[in-house]
Structures are given as structure tokens and as C-alpha cells.
Amino acid sequence: MDLSLEEIIGLDDLKKLMHFFHEAAGLSVGVLDTKHNWLVSIGWQRICTDFHRVNPESRKNCLMTEDRICEYLDSKQYLTYPCPNGLIEVSIPILLGDVPLGYFFLGQFLHHPPDHDYFRRQAIACGFDIDAYLQTLDKVPVVSARRINHLMKFFVRFFDLLTRIGSENLQRRHAENEIVKAKEQLETRVEERTRELNRALLEVGDLAAQLNESLQQVERLAVTDTLTETYNRRKFDETIVKEHDHARHGKTPFSLIMLDIDHFKKVNDSFGHSVGDSVLKHLCQLLRGLIRQGDLLIRWGGEEFLILLPTTLIKEAGPFAERIRVVVEQESFPTAGKVTVSLGVAQLREGDSTDTLLKRVDSALYKAKQGGRNRVVLCSEI
């Protein structure tokens, strides 16, 4: 399957990520597709936009550099090069396997303070206003080669991960579409085969196998929340039984964290439900980065989530919940800005049922909200 960069990477999300990077690092970033169309172009230095890209001769240097660099990029290694106009740029190919989908550029910086005599001569040759040209030159960031090396190692892995995940998601969507088509085809074929009983009997085995495969995929989707791609209540109900059995056989009991986004209704009322959905998805991304392998993140309903922590005592779960609270409080959510959460924590006690455990952790969450929100309350404290 021939895939384009735009098919497997959400450009809006990529632009937001690149904006965040530009604001943090002060470096220009760009993404070209294989047809040399700029999909992302952020933070270009004024010396380029106001001078190099305006003058016909210096602009030729820019375009020539883009063409030639893309020809040389044939591996995952990044390439550092000086553009003919005197600045330094770095580039890597964006690959899916060994197939190039586009190119990432980091640029318009210098490794050392600029040679003003060189750029003064360049300004004269191109007919630029010398003082204005040198003033914009002094705003070009000076970044060590060592720092650029670290950044590009990050971006090599970043785009490798991004393209692989994007490709897998695209394939999953194609598979889901195929399931729908298969179901429609199955219904049509059943209607046709009822007229020819003998032939239908020969095909029953194949049709049953197809249906079984479809049902298995549906079953996986049935335990997943479609918006946040976290687990749902059904998955929780399946897992909690196993954790009860584990604890009854003398293993360490487990703990539950119930968390709720504070004043989430205001987010929806102020920015709209699409931003509210974005906040929920962004929060889940943060939580996935904090929980351990084996922990279970469940969307309990609306803006309320459960985290099941196997073989974890409350004395360990409490500090972990506080860490979640701090990380969320420090995060800046797109459009919505600052968001906080309240958390309740409870540990399975002897004689606990699922209902009693849920009631206790819900009570702890309620106390956290009543106590002013943006806090953690342990069930042992109430």
C-alpha cells in the first residue's frame, strides 16, 4: 500500500507539536512531502523571510538547497549542511520502513557568532539594506553542534515512532472498514444462498470462520473507550475479578485511584465540546506516560477515570496519585490552558466486594472535591 505522509500523520497535531518545540527551542522547523510541498513551516528567521526569500538570486539558493538535500537523504541519519546564504540547517528523511514519506528540517541557526564582514558583503551583493540586514542577522540563534546532535537524535526516533504508529492506526481503520464491508457482503450472500440450500451448506463453514474473526475484533473494540482509547467499564469488570482472586490467595492486595477533572463543565461551556474531548484525550496521554505496565486505566464515565494498581498498597498508591495531580497541574492543555484533577485513593480490604471498594474510593474523591479540589484524599484518612 502506497501511503503519503498526510495519510498517516495528523498534520494539525504535528503543527501544534512543532509550534511547542519552536516556542521552547527558538529554532525553525519544517516538513516537506516527497513532492517538495511544505506541510509544516514554522518560525522561519526574518533574515530568510525578509531578505533571502525576497531577492531572486538568494531565493534560488534556498530552492536549490531544498532540491539537492532531499536527493542526498537516503537513510535515517541526519544531514547538517550550510545553505549558500550562510546559515546552517539540518535535515532527516521521514521514513516508513525504508520508504521516504517526506523530510524534516531544523534550521536557520549558526554554530558560532556570525562573521559580520561576510554578511555585510552579502548584503551589498544582493542590494539589501546593510543595517537592517545585520540587525536581523544578530537575531539568528547560535546553537552548539552538540545540542543539535541531541535534538536530531530525538527527532529521528520521534518520526520513526510517529510513522509506525500512524501506519498501524491507518491499517486498523482499513481493517475496521473491511469488517463493515464483510458484514454487508455476508448479509447479501446469506440472502442469496437461502435460495440454493445445497450450495449454502457448503459455504457455511467459511462464512462462520469469517464471522468468528469479525466477532473477535468487535470484542476487542467492546472493551475500549472510542474517544480516549482507554479501557472501559467492561474491561474493569473482567479484571477486578482476577485481582480479587489474586489477593485472596495471599498476594498483595491492590489499590484503586479514582480521579475527576475539576470544573470540566466550564471547559465545555467556554470552549465547546470538541475542546473538552481534546482535554480528555490529552489527559489520557499524560496518564499513560505515568502508569506502570500492568496498571489499568479506565474511563469510568464522562470526565471520571479509574486507575487499577495491582499488588500495590495504599502507602504506594497515595504518592503516585499526588504525582499525577502535580503533573496535570503543571501541564498546559491546548486551547483550554490549565486543568486540575481531584483524586481519591483506596486499597482493597479483607472482606471488600467490588461495590464496597468503589464506594470507598468514590467517597475519597468526593472529600477531595469538597476540600477544595486539586488534591488527593486517601481512604485511610476519612
Question: Can you count the helices (H) and strands (E) in the chain?
Answer: 13, 12
DSSP string across 312-371: --HHHHHHHHHHHHHHHHH-EETTTEE--EEEEEEE--TT--HHHHHHHHHHHHHHHHHT
Please tell me the class of the 5-167 domain: alpha beta
More confidently predicted of 248 and 326: 326
Three-state secondary-structure class, residue 103: strand
Is residue 343 a contact partner of residue 257, using CB atoms and an 8 Å limit? yes
Mean local confidence (pLDDT), 180-195: 82
Euclidean distance between CA atoms 341 and 283, whole angstroms = 10
One-character DSSP codes across 110-137: BSS---HHHHHHHHHHHT--HHHHHHHH
Active site residue 303: yes
- 340, 339, 359: which is closest to 348 by C-alpha? 359
**pTM score above 0.75:** no
Q: Which residues contact 51 (CB under 8 A, 6 or more apart)?
A: 58, 126, 128, 133, 136
* Percent of the chain with pLDDT strictly greater than 90: 46
pLDDT at 208: 61
List of E strands, the chain: 28-33, 38-42, 79-82, 88-96, 99-109, 255-261, 296-301, 304-309, 332-333, 337-338, 341-347, 376-378
Q: What pLDDT digit, counting tens, does each position of 73-125 carry?
A: 655 567 787 888 888 888 888 888 778 888 888 888 999 999 999 999 988 98
Residues 6+ positions from 63 with CB-CB distance below 8 Å: none
Q: Look at residue 1 in the predicted model and tell me its pLDDT.
A: 58
Question: How confident is the model at residue 146, as a pLDDT?
Answer: 92
Q: Which pLDDT score is estimated for 228?
A: 94
Catalytic residue among 191, 229, 303, 322: 303
Spatial distance between the Cα atoms of 175 and 181, rounded to a whole number of angstroms = 10
Distance CA(376)–CA(378), nearest Å, equals 7
Q: Alpha-carbon distance 81 to 62, whole Å?
A: 12
**Model pLDDT, residue 75:** 57
Of the candidate CATH numbers 3.40.50.150, 3.40.50.300, 3.30.70.270, 3.30.870.10, the domain formed by 233-381 belongs to 3.30.70.270
Residues 6+ apart with CB under 8 A from 251: 311
Contact 238, 296 (CB under 8 A): no
Contact between 147 and 106 under an 8 Å Cβ cutoff? The reply is no
CA distance 368 to 378: 9
Is a pLDDT exceeding 90 seen at residue 61?
no
User: How would you class 366 by CB atoms within 10 Å of its CB: exposed for 0-12, middle for 13-18, buried for 19 or more?
Assistant: middle
**What are 145's three cell numbers?**
553542534
Inter-CA distances, 335 with 11, 73, 268, 373, Å: 17, 36, 11, 22
Bridge partner residues of 308 (DSSP): 256, 296
Q: Residue 224 has what DSSP assignment?
A: B
Q: What is the mean pLDDT of residues 268-275?
A: 95
